[in-house]
Amino acid sequence: MRATLERASPARTARRPTRPQLIRAVITAVLLLFVLFALPQLMSLYYVDTMTQVAVYSMVTLALGLLVGRVGLFSLGQAAVLAIGAWAAARLLFATTQPYPLVLLEAGLITMVAGLLIGLPALRLRGLYLALITLMLAGAITVVLATVNFPNGGHGFTGYNGSLLHIPPIRRPSIAASDPAYFRYSVVVAILMFALVYAHIKTKPGRAWAAIRQSEPAALAAGINIWFYKLWAFALASFITGVAGGVLAGAIHYLYSINFPTQDSITLLAVTLMGGVYSLWGAVVAALLYQFLPALLNNWGVSADWLIILFGLGVLQVLTTAPAGLADQVPRDLARLGRFLRGRLGRRPAPAGTPGGTPGGDPA
Amino acid sequence: MPPWQDFEPFIVSGLALGGVYALSGVGLVVLYRATGVLYLAFGAVGALGALIAWSLATKAGAPGWAGWLACVAVAGAVTLGYGLLFGPALARRDPLIKAVATIGLTLILYGAMDLLWTTSGGQARSLALPTDNGGFTVASIQVTWTQVIALAAGVVLTAGTGTFLRFTKLGTAMRAMANDRDITATLGVPVRKVEAAAWLGCGVLAGIAGLLLADLVALDATTLTFLVISSLAAVLIARLRSITVTFVAAIVIGLLHDLLTPITSLSNYRDMTPFVIAAIALLVLSRHQVMTQSREEA
């Protein structure tokens, strides 16, 4: 992460990373090392599986957050895109003996092509209409998948055989056959996807997207090819979601079309908004909300319906008072609380506090 | 291709379904025109009303009409409450944001319904209206009064809403607000009151639609909540403007959906009908676009 930060700060300004930037990079690196090496040892298998799902869905919310937050395109059909990726990956995994990373890449590319086929005509629409057309297309894809079914080791194009008695599981990479190993594998894939998006945001496409989000006429006047960059964002988001689908296929071994209902697309948009669409951390928060919280509640015997209600309230709260979501709000509130406490207890002038307010930023 | 007789019953059921879609679509268009909100919680509100009607009838033993009234009242109250609470806060935001906010309400209602009327036990509920039993036969097709009511409600409400918008003072105010909320307010129209009326009207229509769909399709929170997408397709074809186009599109969608049922090769795909029709219509209609839509981007 530190390396990416340094590469991203352009050499021509010859500016060294500031202190908060450094602190943030170190914290990120430590956190990643912890997640990769310590976390699987500390958790039960139940939570290892859950965290694998979190890694998968962090890619999905990353892609959706990219569309919503960076470009201003609301997609209500992301679960359907994920299903396409999972379908393509499962079909390839059953049909070929290609190495897993290659399959992931191909699943991503197939989903990208599908996304482009949808995006090419749909991107002529704007705002509300685009959001609704994605909802319609997601509904249509769900219906098709329910009829075609996911591959289960059968033959033919669909790879589905309804009369199969022993359905073989979808294979995993040989280096990551066990659950903890597959968790690490998923995290590495997710890191690569986050790095891909980070590289986009910090360079020309990111600036073009920001301009488009601000005002399309102004972006057009500035000589930005709006259509091209929107399509690029669509393709990138589809690719990432497709890769996530591929990782999901190996994670759960068996895929069924009831796993991808249309309402998931809506819940996904809700958690993505709640997590925060203007920061990459928001995608992680959103994935935790979407996969980790239900697992936790399930463990406690609390109905997941409470969570749906919470997501609904969260959407309303984000849209009315906190547009940047939890990823922005929580650190800011923590920093404010820290300043307040320091002011109260020490009676000293409160320092500005580390942005992010995350623990570990020792001022000494 | 199956013989014509196989299609006949589905003409009636398709028209009934189209009628309900039409009345839902009209409610959505009127609210959108008056407030700029595309009310995605329409189906969820109707489902809540229908489930309450079911509970009143089966658990509390109340007479049927009390349940129906409660259904419409609850749907109206929830919608009005949402409109009063979040309408002003989001009034100046983009229509897209306003629509996404109603997804928040949808999720709240959906979670609450799943919590209170759980489906995990596999128990199926049904809400039968007394009009199911009576009926008549036209050219050897059995028609129930519920189906007649559904289509009639669609026709009457479309015509009635059109008349209302054209000739009454409140309707004129709504049309004015659809053009420009600020100028309308300057002219002395009580903007908040007109908006509240639109919210209430839309909620009442949601209740009626929920009741009819619970009888015609299924009494199930998920189904009813997401059935609104079919009405949305009709609304989209009308580009959120014309209630006449909404009506025609809704009837076509309802009819086509049901007429595909006897064709075995397409039967599984019939649920795609609204999506496919809406997608094609939108893509054809949106060929000519302007860069700036002054009202939407203001």
Task: Tell me whether A131 touches chain B (CB under 8 Å).
Answer: yes
* Closest to B195 in 3D by CA, of B37, B1, B61: B37
Contacts of A306 in chain B (CB under 8 A): 111, 115
Name the residue with tokens 């960076």: A70
Q: Do B111 and A308 touch (CB under 8 A)?
A: yes
* Nearest-angstrom CA–CA distance, A285 and A327: 7
Of chain B residues 220-259, which have a CB less than 8 A from chain A? Answer: 222, 225-226, 229, 232-233, 236, 240
pLDDT category at B44 given cuts 50, 70, 90 is very high
Considering only CA atoms, which of A161, A174, A169, A63 is closest in space to residue A119? A63
Do residues A262 and A95 make contact, with C-beta atoms less than 8 angstroms apart? no
- B 74-133 residues inside an 8 A Cβ radius of A: 86, 89-90, 93-97, 99-101, 103-112, 114-115
Measure Cα distances from A243 to A58, A87, A88, A116, A261 in Å. 12, 11, 10, 15, 19
| Least confident window among A11-20, A34-43, B59-68, B221-230 | A11-20
Distance from CA of A71 to the nearest CA of B (A): 14
**In chain A, whose CA is at the least distance from the CA of B97?**
A319
* Cα A169 from chain centre: 25
In this structure, the number of other CB atoms found within 10 A of the CB of residue A198 comes to: 18
**B-contacting residues in A 52-71 (Cβ below 8 Å):** none
- Three-state SS string across chain A, please? CHHHHHHHCCHHHCCCCCHHHHHHHHHHHHHHHHHHHHHHHHCCHHHHHHHHHHHHHHHHHHHHHHHHHHHCCCCCCHHHHHHHHHHHHHHHHHHCCCCHHHHHHHHHHHHHHHHHHHHHHHCCCCHHHHHHHHHHHHHHHHHHHHHHCCCCCCCCCCCCCCCCCCCCCCCCCHHHCCHHHHHHHHHHHHHHHHHHHHHHHCCHHHHHHHHHHHCHHHHHHCCCCHHHHHHHHHHHHHHHHHHHHHHHHHHHCCCCHHHCCHHHHHHHHHHHHHHCCCCHHHHHHHHHHHHHHHHHHHHHCCCCHHHHHHHHHHHHHHHHCCCCCHHHHHHHHHHHHHHHHHHHHHCCCCCCCCCCCCCCCCCC
pLDDT score for B288:
58
The closest of B78, B48, B82, B74 to B195, measured between CA atoms, is B82
Distance CA A293, CA A335 (A): 25
Are the C-beta atoms of A312 and A357 separated by less than 8 Å?
no
User: Is the CB of residue B234 less than 8 Å from the CB of residue B250?
Assistant: yes
Query: In which element (H, E) is residue B209 found?
Result: helix B191-216
DSSP class of B168: S
Q: Using CB atoms within 10 A of its CB, is residue B250 exposed (0-12), middle (13-18) or buried (19+)?
A: buried
Q: Under the phi-then-psi rule, with left for phi > 0, alpha for psi from -120 to 50, and beta for the rest, what region is A360?
A: left
Q: Is A217 on the interface with B (CB under 8 A)?
A: yes
B182 touches chain A (CB under 8 A): no
Kindly give the confidence (pLDDT) of every residue in chain A, 364 residues in length, as a single tens digit, with 9 standing for 90 and above: 444 444 444 444 556 778 888 888 888 888 888 888 778 778 888 888 889 999 999 999 999 999 988 888 888 888 999 999 999 998 888 888 888 889 999 999 999 999 888 888 777 777 788 888 888 888 888 888 888 878 877 776 777 776 666 777 888 887 877 888 889 899 999 999 999 999 999 999 999 999 988 888 888 898 888 888 989 999 999 999 999 999 998 888 888 877 888 888 889 999 998 888 888 888 888 888 898 888 888 888 888 888 889 999 988 888 888 777 777 777 888 888 888 888 877 655 444 444 443 333 333 3
Entry pTM: 0.85
Nearest to B38 among A128, A139, A305 (CB): A128
- Segments making up each domain of chain B, as ranges: 4-116+127-287
How big is chain A, counted in residues?
A: 364
A134 contacts A75 by C-beta, under 8 angstroms: yes
CA atoms within 13 A on the CB side of A156: 10
For residue B282, the chain A residues in CB contact (below 8 A) are 125, 129, 133
B286/A129 CB distance under 8 A:
yes
- B178 to chain A nearest CA, in Å? 16
B135-143: which pairs have CB atoms within 8 A and are 24 or more residues apart? B139/B8, B140/B8, B141/B8, B141/B9, B141/B11, B141/B12, B142/B9, B142/B12, B143/B12
Q: At which residue do the structure tokens 């979407």 appear?
A: A290
Instruction: Give the mutation candidate from A78, A132, A137, A158 for the B interface (greatest B CB count, under 10 A).
Output: A132
Q: Is B288's Cβ below 8 Å from some Cβ in A?
A: no
- A279 near B CB under 8 A: no
Asked if B268's CB is within 8 angstroms of A146's CB, the reply is: yes
pLDDT score recorded for residue A240: 95
With a threshold of 0.90, tell me whether the complex ipTM lies above it: no
The shortest CB-CB distance from B232 to any of A122, A132, A316 is to A132
Residues in chain B within 8 Å Cβ distance of A126: 289, 293
> CB contact, 8 Å: A297 with chain B?
no
Inspect the interface and report whether the beta carbons of B111 and A121 lie closer than 8 Å.
Answer: no
- Helical (H) or strand (E) element with B143: strand B141-144
pLDDT at position A135: 86
What does the block give as tokens for B196? 């509240």
Rg of chain B taking only CA atoms, in angstroms: 19
The predicted pLDDT at position A236 comes to 94
Q: Beta-carbon neighbour count of residue B265 at 10 Å?
A: 8
On the question of pLDDT at B278 being above 50, the answer is yes
- Return the pLDDT at B54: 86
A137: closest chain B residue by CA: B275
Min CA distance, A153 vs chain B (Å)?
A: 23
Q: Give the minimum alpha-carbon distance from A165 to chain B in angstroms, rounded to a whole number.
A: 24
How confident is residue B290, by pLDDT bands cut at 50, 70 and 90? low
Q: What is the DSSP string of B111-127?
A: HHHHHHS--TT---B--
* CA distance to partner chain B, nearest, from residue A126 (Å): 10
Rounded-to-integer distance, Cα A25 and Cα A48, Å: 25
Q: Which helix (H) or strand (E) holds B137?
A: strand B135-138
Residue of B nearest to A214 (CA): B297
Distance in Å, alpha carbon of A275 to nearest chain B alpha carbon:
14
Average pLDDT over residues B62-86: 88
Structure tokens at A251: 């994670």
Phi, psi (deg, nearest 5) at residue B168: -95, 165
Contact yes or no for B269 and A220 at CB 8 A: no
CA-only gyration radius of chain A, Å: 21
Domains of chain A: 44-161+169-324 (1.10.3470)
Averaged over B45-74, what is the pLDDT? Answer: 85
Q: Cβ contacts (< 8 Å) between A128 and chain B: which residues? A: 38, 94-96, 99, 240
User: Which residues in A lie closer than 8 A to residue B274 (C-beta atoms)?
Assistant: 136, 139
Are B35 and B83 a contacting pair, CB within 8 Å? Answer: yes
d(CA B207, CA A61): 34
What single letter denotes the amino acid at residue A309?
I
User: In this structure, are residues A216 and B291 in contact, taking their beta carbons and an 8 Å threshold?
Assistant: yes
From chain B residues 29-58, the ones with a CB under 8 A of any chain A CB are 38
Residues in chain B with CB shorter than 8 Å from the CB of A305 are: 111-112, 114-115
Structure token digits, residue A314: 């969260």
- Stated length of chain B: 298
Residue B278 contacts A, CB cutoff 8 Å: yes
How close is the nearest chain B Cα to the Cα of A122, in Å?
Answer: 7
- From chain B, pick out residues whose CB is under 8 angstroms from the CB of A74: 96, 100
Residue numbers of A between 136 and 165 with CB closer than 8 Å to B:
136-137, 139-140, 143-144, 146-147
- Is the domain spanning B4-116+127-287 CATH 1.10.3470? The answer is yes
Chain A residue numbers touching B224 (CB-CB < 8 A) = none
Question: Between chains, do A125 and B286 touch, taking CB under 8 Å as contact?
Answer: yes
Q: Which two tokens stand for residue A190?
A: 């997710």
Encoding tokens for residue A248?
A: 């999901």
